Structure 1
Amino acid sequence: MQLPIRAIFVFRTVARLGSISKAAEELAVTPSAVSQQVQALETQLGLTLMSKVGRRVVLTEAGERYFASITDEVERIAEATNLIRGYRSVTTLTVRATPTLSNKWLLPRLGAFLDRHPDLEVRIDGTNEPTAFKREVVDVEIRHGDGRWPGLFVEGMAEEDFLPACSPDYAPPASLTAAELPRFRLIHSVKSQAQWPRWFALAGVQPAERWARVLFDRSHMAIDAAAGGMGIALESTLMMERELETGRLICPVAGPPPIRLVTQWIVCPHEHLRQRKVRLFLDWLRTERAGWEARRRHAHAAAEALAGRTARKPVPAD
């Protein structure tokens, strides 16, 4: 039996995109030609692989199994074909992520991912707008929010600690009490899930009705402003990682009340998890997250040990 290579590639494209029209656009053919190829494959296999639901196509159980079985093999065939023709196979991975996570966490690490996977080309779309996966060509998103998006694969990035932070030139580390903070200029990230009123309530502080403040609609701007000596920001240790490690930012409050939240989520349609490029990216994200969490635990243990040594330090006699 002759292997229907063309029909297999067309079926895989339709299954990946969930749309005959999108597959036709990507393959530069007509939707009718795409439908004919899929029907020819179904006839040869003696199985129904997909059905139409509105303007989208949905895989049958047999189609799900077949797509899962062929996806990696089709990618290897495409790569081998390009290599033998003298081209380097390039697959584009499109990632949408919030501007702050893109700037502060993803960008400093991205080179390592690209070095590990030279066959992948990565496009970063830095925006807060949630992806309409049915209409947009985005493989995976790192989304800010509460994690409640039914029908999608959702996995929390990490549990973040939110701390007051400023330049050491603005206030020395652990030099202030919570009650003293309203005397300073406070930097607000207006879209953050952790806000100053909540932090003050946890600290048992009732600030004055008016206080000096500056507001930003992007957390990366608030972090840069704090590092530049503009005031004290309430930000995530995940986003401030580089600034905290280099000492550009410190926590000026002794014993700040804890706020721990998961605010960044890995999001994509479940069918995207079948794609090799998405699996590679998610595995890399999880490895990077595990390294960050290990460093955070080490930093907490070191801080607690230092606090213990300070508490046990004898008071000199008069």
Structure 2
Amino acid sequence: MQLPIKAILVFHAAARAGSISRAAAELSVTPSAVSQQIQLLEVQLGISLLGKAGRGVVLTEAGERYFSMISEQIERIEEATGTIQGFRSVTTLTVRATPTLSNKWLLPRLGKLLDQHPDLEIRLDGTNEPTDFNQELVDIELRHGNGRWPGLFVEGIADEQFMPVCSPDYAAAGSLQPQDLLDHRLIHSVKSQAQWTTWFQLTEVAPQERWSRILFDRSHMAIDAAIRGMGIALESTLMMGDELKSGRLVCPVAAPPEIRIVTQWIVCPRDHLRQKKVRIFLDWLRAERDVWQAAQHEAVS
């Protein structure tokens, strides 16, 4: 059976509008053309879809069922059509990245990339969910984890240093010893690869069985909580570089133990590396990473 696409779309418009005339205005056709298409669809389906209700129309029981069954698909087609319009003149790069990396590191730098490549359109999907590249239209992912994903191109972004931080109003820089932290509220990023238990092991301080703490499942929330003076967080310099540079966060511990881990990774199928838009993004990302690393070394020296 050949699908009566035009008649289906006209029926959907009339059912959504609740009026033949309003559907006609929406579709830029005459009301009689709308009625004719709906009648053709009813004949082909062998059922009545619409009935009159004053100046409007009302769905029959079969019409309601049919409308509910086709609405989602038609709306998806409309959305896809709107998205693809102008695609020839703009190249869209879809990047998936963790919420914290998106907010704290990528977003402040993206303007430079867009200025350098005005024909490049970025869609930034901030989520921790790993991409199924066989099912999802994602060009490249910046993934949090251990870097072990067989079958994919994987490259570490940067060597991150994790350190205790807090607002300078909460505790001055270098004013505390490791054991002093047990008397303070500790902010936990529950998904972080660097946890307070590990940090205390490195300091040879035994954590208490019960301690004052607040837990977040996103590191950017933990960083913001520390800025607001809610306690002391254990976070990555990659994620809070601007806050450390501006003095909104300081390290309250004198000579803290060093924890260095790569937690953020460039991930994509290897064939994606042949795409010009992916190569542009990776060249820019690596250049920004190198600038950031140079600034870190300068701050230490």
- TM norm structure 2: 0.71
Which residue in 1 is equivalent to 2:180?
A: 180
> Aligned with 2:233: secondary structure?
strand
Residue 89 of structure 1: how far off its partner (Å): 1.8
Which residue in 2 is equivalent to 1:101?
A: 101
Structure 2 portions without partners, runs of 5+: 1-85
Which residue in 1 is equivalent to 2:237?
A: 237
Residues in 1 aligned to 2:207 and 2:152: alpha-carbon distance in whole angstroms = 41
Which residue in 2 is equivalent to 1:295?
A: 295
Residues in 2 aligned to 1:182 and 1:266: alpha-carbon distance in whole angstroms = 36
* Structure 1 residues 283-303: Cα deviation after superposition (integer angstroms, max 9, x where no partner): 0000000000000000111xx
Residue 208 of structure 1: how far off its partner (Å): 1.5
- Count of aligned positions: 216
Residue 169 of structure 1: how far off its partner (Å): 0.1
Residues in 2 aligned to 1:296 and 1:287: alpha-carbon distance in whole angstroms = 14
Instruction: State, as a whole percentage, how many aligned pairs show the same letter.
Output: 72
> Aligned with 1:108: secondary structure?
helix
Residues in 2 aligned to 1:166 and 1:256: alpha-carbon distance in whole angstroms = 14
* Structure 1 residues 68-112: Cα deviation after superposition (integer angstroms, max 9, x where no partner): xxxxxxxxxxxxxxxxxx998200000000000000000000011
Moved over 6 A (4+): none
> Letter of the aligned partner of 1:125 in structure 2?
D
> Letter of the aligned partner of 1:207 in structure 2?
P
Which residue in 1 is equivalent to 2:59?
A: none
Residues in 1 aligned to 2:282 and 2:254: alpha-carbon distance in whole angstroms = 37
- TM norm structure 1: 0.67
Residues in 1 aligned to 2:124 and 2:88: alpha-carbon distance in whole angstroms = 21
Q: Could you tell me whether the CA contact under 8 Å between 1:88 and 1:119 is conserved in 2? A: no
Residue 260 of structure 1: how far off its partner (Å): 0.2
Matched, 1:198 2:198: yes
Which residue in 2 is equivalent to 1:171?
A: 171
Which residue in 2 is equivalent to 1:150?
A: 150
Which residue in 2 is equivalent to 1:128?
A: 128
The correspondence of residues 1-318 of structure 1 with structure 2, limited to 5 A, is 89-301=89-301
Q: Could you tell me whether the CA contact under 8 Å between 1:157 and 1:289 is conserved in 2? A: yes
Residue 254 of structure 1: how far off its partner (Å): 0.2
Residues in 1 aligned to 2:154 and 2:89: alpha-carbon distance in whole angstroms = 30
Residues in 1 aligned to 2:116 and 2:185: alpha-carbon distance in whole angstroms = 44
Residue 188 of structure 1: how far off its partner (Å): 0.1
> 1:231–1:277: structure 2 CA closer, same or farther, 3 Å change rule?
same
> Letter of the aligned partner of 2:233 in structure 1?
A
Q: Could you tell me whether the CA contact under 8 Å between 1:140 and 1:266 is conserved in 2? A: yes
Residues in 1 aligned to 2:116 and 2:203: alpha-carbon distance in whole angstroms = 45
* Structure 1 residues 149-202: Cα deviation after superposition (integer angstroms, max 9, x where no partner): 001000000000000000000000000000100100000000000000000000
> Letter of the aligned partner of 1:246 in structure 2?
S
